Structure 1
Amino acid sequence: MARILPMAASYSLQLAGLRPPSPFSAAVRLASNARLGLHSAPFRRLALSHLGSAMHHGQLFGIKPSKLIRKASGIEASAAGNMTTQASTTVSQEEALEWVKKDKRRLLHVVYRVGDLDKTIKFYTECLGMKLLRKRDIPEERYTNAFLGYGPEDSHFVVELTYNYGVDKYDIGTGFGHFGIAVEDVAKTVDLIKAKGGKVTREPSSLKGGKTLVASIEDPDGYKFELLERGPTPEPFCQLMLRVGDLDRAINFYEKAFGMELLHKQDNPEDKYTIAMMGYGPEDKNAVLELMYNYGVKEYDKGNAYAQIAIGTDDVYKTAEAIKLYGGKITREPGPLPGINTKITACLDPDGWKTVFVDNIDFAKELE
């Protein structure tokens, strides 16, 4: 059986753990985990012993050392002896949240695997109107990938397709939902897809409680696409839907750790699901993340087809610390990648969905 490789951007194989992660500051890790809330004299000794780490952690977000000293020295043990205040972490959370909101973030691309690259490219360009932006073959690693979208990668959310030599089928699983594509005429697009032999799973119809025309289709690998009838938009590739087991937890994480905005939330009790739209700008002008919670369903099978999204950031180090502080799991410590020096960090959200953050300046250099 052919070996199934993970997604393959210029940094994809390294993210999958096929190359050792770069070392990261032990002091920063210690600072983000250290608990300063112990009792009376032992507490004060421990607080002072970790003060250097706390300062390092705080300085990452621009906190003055004197502020941390005042925080640490002002904590007193409670009479009950059960106080566990985390001075440096509390300050860091505040500073991290403030920084995350100011960070210049944008959805860059979504990565997933396909069994026949040429067939998929043909479908996306002829049926969905995408353009092939670039394509590259890496024979020594036995994979090819292609980037497609509705505009340049430096300003649009695009698709990164990965074909691994000899692997013609993947399991999409039950956690991935669909991609959303905004089109000006849903019925005309559906007719074109039918003429090209595409699979239509929902004929054009209005959304429940609304006037927007929608239709559903599947690409050659079985990935679902929802066609949404809209007027002209700068970002036709407009949605990525993933299912989560705890919607409130997911919203909180994406707001605080990723700096996304809750654009709107809609409960559908008759169909037993709730959705939340998260993103970095209005839905009619930007790609957004649609999170879906199905009543009573806590876990999903993620399969091996869908890989991850990539998001741009001004600082992967600060991003990683914010993710840790708000419950995410870092799977690739921040730092430059060997060979190309692009700085990245990778993480899992509370539901196990993977995201890679890429340094904005380094990403721009890659595109050059």
Structure 2
Amino acid sequence: MSSLSATLNLLRPSLAPPPPSLRFCDVRNSASSYCTSRRLALFHLGSALPQSQLLVAKASELLRGERNTLEAAPVANLAQAGTAITKENALEWVKNDKRRMLHVVYRVGDLNKTIKFYTECLGMKLLRRRDIPEEQYSNAFLGYGPEDSNFVVELTYNYGVDKYNIGTGFGHFGIDVEDVSKSVELIKAKGGKVTREPGPAKGGSTIIAFVEDPDGYTFELLERGPSPEPLCQVMLRVGDLDRAIKFYKKAFGMELLRKRDYPEYKYTYALMGYGPEDKNPVLELTYNYGITDYDKGNGYAQIAIGTDDVYKSAEAIKLYGGKIVLEPGPLPGINTKITACLDPDGWKSVFVDNVDFMKELE
């Protein structure tokens, strides 16, 4: 078992073998084999299990020796990187860090069916696809432009699992289209499910519609002009909007682009991102009056964000109330540096070293 697999096992509540998409290739495989499965930890950290299981830190006593060894490594990495920062300079560093949203990762029950829907109905392009039978999973990357410059989706299919619980916390993905009505007509013609017919948004003038993909994930279609980032939103529900805004501003370095309250509909939302919403994907955080906790299900996994320094990113996250669930450091075999964290509501994000990420795409 590789050290990465052991690390991931420590996050599980039992000694059962790790699920398909959490296993790393055998260390005897060639470098090209590592490239084939290079996202196993990077973006599949959490792509096969319910989030509640992944966050259980209690490991078996039989793994105590391995755990002690594994836990020592991040400490050494942090010491070597010299990343001790204080609140006084963390905020400035975070704002100056070169960050962008890279991927959003979630699980689907039929990869072929979902790819067909995304390409034929939503106009996405299939960028890459992998089938790893020895690891019992397949995945695909789809979007409206190349991964080195665009925000894309990463779909994971775990062999034998055809249904996931999306939960009540995940909201929707947003897509900019030039004509919502025409898009809806196409989706209907292809057998897609429309859950909200085209019309003005509540309290606004933007024409929108809602559709569901084959797994029940909701997509909001927004009628706007041509956009460099048509995949424009990920909406998540939170229990304390002011707390969430503060966290994403300080720990993630995002800007508060918009905040609107709709008392007649009993909700408030905020758009957070790394630049203007007409040119960049945004995180839409929604607070529904009186609801402080949500079922996150086991379908949605995480967002991946690029950073110049995963060590400093982890330290800043700790300073501002986040929880590190994977200490920063290089992944075994591929040396890509990552760290994973939870926000105050329990939503997970993975930070990925920018230079390492670009090398992987090569």
TM-score band w.r.t. shorter chain: 0.7 to 0.9
Deviation at 1:218, TM superposition (A): 0.2
The 1:14–1:209 alpha-carbon spacing in structure 2 relative to 1, beyond 3 Å, is closer
Partner of residue 158, structure 2: 164
- Bigger shift: residues 12-21 or 137-146: 12-21
Partner of residue 45, structure 1: none
1:180 aligns with 2:179: no
Partner of residue 74, structure 2: 24
TM-score, normalised on structure 2? 0.82
Cα-to-partner distance string for 1:18-46 (whole Å, 9 max, x where unaligned): 997562227969xxxxxxxxxxxxxxxxx
Partner of residue 202, structure 1: 196
CA contact (8 A) 1:265 1:274 kept: yes
CA contact (8 A) 2:77 2:329 kept: no
Q: 1:281 aligns with which of 269, 275, 280?
A: 275
1:352 aligns with 2:357: no
Deviation at 1:210, TM superposition (A): 2.4
Partners of 1:145 and 1:366 lie apart in 2 by 16
Q: 2:83 aligns with which of 60, 63, 83?
A: 60
Partners of 1:141 and 1:13 lie apart in 2 by 15
Partners of 1:14 and 1:183 lie apart in 2 by 29
Partners of 1:149 and 1:331 lie apart in 2 by 28
Partners of 1:261 and 1:365 lie apart in 2 by 28
CA contact (8 A) 2:102 2:147 kept: yes
Cα-to-partner distance string for 1:190-243 (whole Å, 9 max, x where unaligned): 000000000000000011332210000000000000000000110000000000
Partners of 1:178 and 1:108 lie apart in 2 by 17
Cα-to-partner distance string for 1:163-216 (whole Å, 9 max, x where unaligned): 000100000000000000000000000000000000000000011332210000
Partners of 2:241 and 2:217 lie apart in 1 by 23
Deviation at 1:137, TM superposition (A): 1.3
- What is the aligned residue count? 311
RCO higher in structure (CA 8 A, sep ≥6): 2
CA contact (8 A) 2:314 2:328 kept: yes
CA contact (8 A) 1:6 1:307 kept: no
Deviation at 1:4, TM superposition (A): 5.7
CA contact (8 A) 2:235 2:283 kept: yes
Partner of residue 127, structure 1: 121
Partner of residue 207, structure 2: 213
Q: 1:229 aligns with which of 198, 223, 234?
A: 223
1:15 aligns with 2:65: no
Partner-residue secondary structure (3-state), 2:233: strand
CA contact (8 A) 2:328 2:338 kept: yes
- Report sequence identity in percent: 75
The 1:303–1:6 alpha-carbon spacing in structure 2 relative to 1, beyond 3 Å, is farther
Partner-residue secondary structure (3-state), 2:313: helix
Cα-to-partner distance string for 1:241-271 (whole Å, 9 max, x where unaligned): 0000000000000000000000010001011
CA contact (8 A) 1:130 1:148 kept: yes
Q: Considering only CA atoms, is the larger Rg found in Structure 1 or Structure 2? A: 1
Partners of 1:218 and 1:3 lie apart in 2 by 31
1:154 aligns with 2:154: no
Partner of residue 299, structure 1: 293
Partner-residue secondary structure (3-state), 1:317: helix
Deviation at 1:141, TM superposition (A): 1.2
Deviation at 1:3, TM superposition (A): 8.3
The 1:175–1:319 alpha-carbon spacing in structure 2 relative to 1, beyond 3 Å, is same
Unaligned runs of 5+ in 1: 30-55, 62-90
Deviation at 1:13, TM superposition (A): 7.7
Unaligned runs of 5+ in 2: 1-16, 23-36, 47-53, 60-65
The 1:164–1:3 alpha-carbon spacing in structure 2 relative to 1, beyond 3 Å, is farther
Instruction: Report the aligned-residue RMSD.
Output: 2.3
Partner of residue 79, structure 1: none
Cα-to-partner distance string for 1:324-354 (whole Å, 9 max, x where unaligned): 0000000000000011110000000000000
CA contact (8 A) 1:204 1:213 kept: yes
Deviation at 1:106, TM superposition (A): 0.2
Partner of residue 102, structure 2: 108
State how 1:329-344 maps to structure 2 within 5 Å: 329-344=323-338
Partners of 2:269 and 2:44 lie apart in 1 by 33
Partners of 2:347 and 2:95 lie apart in 1 by 22
CA contact (8 A) 1:309 1:356 kept: yes
Partners of 2:172 and 2:308 lie apart in 1 by 29
CA contact (8 A) 1:113 1:162 kept: yes
Partners of 1:320 and 1:273 lie apart in 2 by 31
Deviation at 1:291, TM superposition (A): 0.1
Partners of 2:215 and 2:45 lie apart in 1 by 24
